[in-house]
Amino acid sequence: MVVGDFAIETDTIVIGSGPGGYVAAIRAAQLGQKVTIVEREFIGGVCLNVGCIPSKALISAGHHYQDAQHSEVFGVTADNVKLDFAKTQEWKDTKVVKTLTTGVEMLLKKNKVEIVRGEAFFVDDHNLRVMTETASQTYSFNNAIIATGSRPIEIKGFKFGKRIIDSTGGLNLKEVPKKLVVIGGGYIGSELAGAYANLGAEVTILEGSPSILPNFEKDMVKLVLNNFKSKGVEIVTGAMAKEAVETENGVTVKYDVDGKEQSIDADYVMVTVGRRPNTDDMGLEQAGVEIGERGLLPVDNQSRTNVPNIYAIGDIVAGLALAHKASYEAKIAAEAIAGKKVAVDYVAIPAVCFTDPELATVGLTEKEAKEQGMDVKASKFPLAGNGRALSLNATEGFVRLVTRKEDGLVVGAQIAGVGASDMIAEVGLAIEAGMVAEDIALTIHAHPSLAETVMDASELALGMPIHI
């Protein structure tokens, strides 16, 4: 019982409305629960508002700008190609982001999910308070799903301001910088560096490790490096960022390479060195929820924390910070609350980077499979052997299928090239369904299509390739 305040009762309360939160709320409502979702900032969370979606919009705009200038190979030329970046940003914000976030809010309402604005703070394991600047309200719940996401890490010497920005700031610049420094060559840094290079910026990436995109295999990353080089992007590896000093019209970035201090002047410096889980300042201790290393919440295979009626999903639990991982965990948590026999299984979770070319991976690499004691083979089919890729003038890249030698079981795949983000889904399904290479080879693929490369890779795995 909450003393001194009337508590509104709900079956399940969801904290956060990103790809984890809103999916959890809708699925819980579909399963007959009375659901309340709490959002402190904007419906759709980081992904829809200042992450996955707007970044892909800028990447798309950059591709169109490049195509308009460089389509001579098709016999298409254009003079005086101009970029109205204010219009680009307006399209991104109104036609893309607003359309999606409005749609998500409509879906929540359609499923009779109560939307509450404010900051959530746990009172105990069955009550929390939602606070705004002017009021507060207590909610009593049977179950809670925490989906509060993450925020950019601010590093020493790089306090965010006008010229020192995080990825959110990078997505909302009013003009294309003449010079842009990106600190961190992971997913976010590489994607936005590529987007602004395509839009006309002179870009430098400072990466502390020996290579950008360390989560992808070297032959995949090499394609991105070659593309960056062709566009004049400078990549400095082994670089330790020291500090950034804002000036009236720009910023000076100081960094060390092999113990030698160097500096570079730019219009902006964007820091993309990782994200921190939003698990602080919400009263988790009051609810008895255990907080693990780096602020992550330990959970079981149903996304349940150490407190049986409180669940956690997305960026605040272990694993890659991927929107689709959060949505997957959201459904598991909601169904577990409903009493269904479900458990998370990450064997076929894809990871995609929207660089030029696109990179995508699912399941195991050849090295990972061998480390697990599997006897596997890797079958690599080049996009240069595909008719559709040729007609798109986009032949850089490949499809690599990793299969078990004894029976052809598909255990992983890596795709680099045009359409990789879409094609990886077929292999994910194959892994999830326990298919062998012959199953893919016997599936009739449309011609001409990029997806034929997956079929070709499976035939290569069977030792009977047609197109190589």
What pLDDT is stored for residue 4 in this prediction?
Answer: 42
Instruction: Answer yes or no: is pLDDT of 310 > 80.
Output: yes
What pLDDT is stored for residue 228 in this prediction?
Answer: 98
CB burial of 14-44 (b: ≥16 within 10 Å; e: otherwise) equals: bbbbbbbbbbbbbbbbebebbbbbbbbebbb
Q: What is the CA radius of gyration of the chain?
A: 24
207 is in an annotated binding site: yes
316 is in an annotated binding site: no
Instruction: Answer yes or no: is pLDDT of 248 > 90.
Output: no
Using alpha carbons, list the distances in angstroms from residue 238 to 59, 82, 270: 27, 37, 18
What pLDDT is stored for residue 191 in this prediction?
Answer: 98
Relative to beta strand 359-363, strand 351-353 is antiparallel
> Which token pair is 9?
């009762």
pLDDT above 90 as % of the chain: 98
Instruction: Answer yes or no: is pLDDT of 446 > 70.
Output: yes
188 is in an annotated binding site: yes
What pLDDT is stored for residue 448 in this prediction?
Answer: 98
Q: Which CATH number fits domain 7-150+276-337: 3.50.50.60, 2.60.370.10, 3.40.50.720, 3.30.1390.20?
A: 3.50.50.60
The answer to whether 17 and 44 are in contact (CB under 8 A) is yes
191 is in an annotated binding site: yes
CA distance 146 to 283: 12
Instruction: Answer yes or no: is pLDDT of 411 > 90.
Output: yes
439 is in an annotated binding site: no
**Catalytic annotation, residues:** 447
200 is in an annotated binding site: no
Among residues 359, 14, 287, the alpha carbon closest in space to that of 125 is found at 287
Intervals of CATH 3.30.390.30 along the chain: 357-461
CA distance 400 to 402: 7
The answer to whether 423 and 389 are in contact (CB under 8 A) is no
> Which token pair is 204?
């430098």
What pLDDT is stored for residue 6 in this prediction?
Answer: 87
Average pLDDT of span 211-235: 98
Among residues 61, 147, 58, 47, the alpha carbon closest in space to that of 101 is found at 47
32 is in an annotated binding site: no
149 is in an annotated binding site: yes
pLDDT tens for 256-266 read 999 999 999 99
375 is in an annotated binding site: no
CA distance 89 to 92: 5
Average pLDDT of span 165-172: 97
Neighbours of 234 (CB within 10 A): 13
> Which token pair is 353?
């980077």
Quickly name the fold that domain 164-273 has: FAD/NAD(P)-binding domain (3.50.50)
**CATH 3.30.390.30 applies to domain 357-461:** yes
pLDDT tens for 268-287 read 999 999 999 999 999 999 99
pLDDT tens for 82-113 read 999 999 999 999 999 999 999 999 999 999 99
186 is in an annotated binding site: yes
189 is in an annotated binding site: yes
Cβ within 8 Å of residue 198, ≥6 positions away: 59, 62, 63, 65, 66, 231, 356
190 is in an annotated binding site: yes
Intervals of CATH 3.50.50.60 along the chain: 7-150+276-337, 164-273
CA distance 169 to 301: 36
pLDDT tens for 350-392 read 999 999 999 999 999 999 999 999 999 999 999 999 999 999 9
pLDDT above 70 as % of the chain: 99
Which stretches does DSSP call E strand in 248-324?
251-257, 260-266, 268-271, 275-277, 310-312
What pLDDT is stored for residue 5 in this prediction?
Answer: 61
> What's the whole-number average pLDDT of the chain?
97
